[in-house]
Chains A and B, each alone.
Chain A
Amino acid sequence: MSTYRWAAGYIDDGDRPKIVTSRFEYEDSYTLERYHATGGYDGLKRALAKAPNEVHDEVRGATILGRGGAGFPAGTKWGLMPADKYPRYLVVNGDESEPGTYKDRLLMERDPHQLIEGCLIAAYAAGLAQVFLYIRGEMPLAHERVGQALNEAYAAGYIGKNILGTNFSVDIVLHWGAGAYVVGEETALIESLEGKRGEPRLKPPFFPAAIGLYGQPTIVNNVETLSNLPWLLVNGMEAYTAIGTQTSPGTRMVAVSGHVNRPGVYEIINGTTTFRDLFYGEEFCQGIRNGNELKAFVPGGGSAPWFTPDQLDLPFEGRLVGAAGSMLGSGAIMVMDHTTDIPAAALTLTRFYAHESCGQCTPCREGGTWLERVLARVVAGNGTPADLDQLMEIGESICPGDFPHAANEALGLAATPFPYKMTTICFVGPSAYAPVHSALTLFRSEFEAKITRRNSIPVAAIHSTPAPAGAH
Chain B
Amino acid sequence: MARLNDDNVRLAQEIIGRYPRPRSATIPLLHLAQEQEGYLTQDAIKHVAELVGATSAEVLGTATFYEMFKFEPVGKYLINICGTMSCALMGAEELMHHAEERLGVKAGGTTSDGLFTLEHAECQAACTEAPCLQVNYRHAFRVTNADLDTLIDDLRAGTLDGEIPAHGTLARVRQSIPADKAAGVVTPEQVGAPAWFPAKDPS
Contacts and interface: CB of A to CB of B under 8 A. Distances in A.
A268 B11 CA distance: 42
B185 A171 contact: yes
Interface string A162-199: 00001111110111111111000000000011111111
A349 B84 contact: yes
Contacts of A336: 89
Interface in B71-95: 80, 83-86, 88-91, 93-94
B106 interface: no
Interface stretch (A35-43, A131-139, A244-252, A382-390): A131-139
A167 B187 CA distance: 19
Contact of A104 (B54, B125, B134): B125
Interface centre among B86, B97, B160, B173 (most CB of A within 10 A): B86
A176 B186 contact: no
A180 B27 CA distance: 12
Given A1-B151, A171-B183, A195 B27 contact: yes
Nearest to A105: B125
Given A144-B173, A462-B88, A180 B65 contact: yes
B196 A3 contact: no
Residues of B contacting A: mostly:
loop
Interface centre among A86, A177, A344 (most CB of B within 10 A): A86
A147 B174 contact: yes
Contacts of B86: 99-100, 257-258, 334
B145 to A, nearest CB: 11
A265 B186 CA distance: 37
Contacts of B58: 196
Contacts of A136: 125
A332 interface: yes
A430 to B, nearest CB: 17
A160 B183 contact: yes
A72 interface: no
B123 A97 contact: yes
B37 to A, nearest CB: 15
Given A138-B134, A180-B65, A3 B151 contact: yes
11 contacts: A5-B129, A79-B203, A87-B194, A99-B122, A137-B31, A151-B175, A171-B186, A175-B24, A257-B89, A334-B86, A356-B122
Contact of B20 (A83, A130, A148, A348): A130
Interface string A81-114: 1011011010000001111111011000000000
Contact of B85 (A78, A130, A197, A334): A334
B181 A161 contact: yes
B79 to A, nearest CB: 10
B173 A147 contact: yes
Interface of A: 1-6, 8-9, 51-53, 56-57, 60, 78-79, 81, 83-84, 86-87, 89, 96-102, 104-105, 124, 127, 129-130, 136-141, 143-145, 147-148, 150-151, 154-155, 157, 159-161, 166-171, 173-181, 192-199, 214-216, 255-259, 263-265, 298, 302, 332, 334, 336, 340, 344-345, 348-349, 352, 355-356, 358, 459-460, 462-465, 467, 471
Nearest to B183: A169
A460 B58 CA distance: 43
A9 B199 CA distance: 48
Interface stretch (B1-9, B109-117, B136-144): B136-144
B56 interface: no
B182 A161 contact: yes
